[in-house]
Amino acid sequence: MRGFGLALGTAVVLAAGQASAAAIDLSKPYGNKSGCINKNGQEVYAEDMLLLTDTEFITAASACSFIEKKAQADGSLVVKSMCAAEGEEGQSPVQFTIKRSAKKLVITDEDGNVMGEISRCR
């Protein structure tokens, strides 16, 4: 009986973590104007392009593929990724945080610098 209580407690904690993950739904792409124009492939070049999908974060100068996404207690999402920067060989590990702000998402780097603010693409 004691093990059942522990399993139930663990299930409650896991369910709470999954509820937080639902706070940021990446099933549809987010981006700024030029990012959303390019959501189905490169259609126009723009210096300010930002596009976020459930598996990638793409800017004009880099493309990051997600390795791991972790929901945080505050509803934000911490993403570990491997990024390829334009003009450089190979990939580098990059971690960033996605937070909800009104109807937009704000992406910040590991130091808390804002990388961009994006809305759901139509």
Q: What does the pLDDT look like over 21-79, one tens digit per residue?
A: 446 999 999 999 999 998 887 777 788 999 999 999 999 899 999 999 999 999 999 99
* Count of the separate structural domains present in the chain: 1
Range of the domain at 113: 2-120
Q: How far apart are CA 12 and CA 16, in angstroms?
A: 6
**What count of other Cβ atoms lies within 10 Å of the Cβ of residue 60?**
15
Say what the pTM is: 0.77
Question: To which residue do tokens 């491997």 refer?
Answer: 82
Q: With beta carbons less than 8 A apart as the criterion, state whether 66 and 55 touch.
A: yes
pLDDT, averaged across the chain: 83
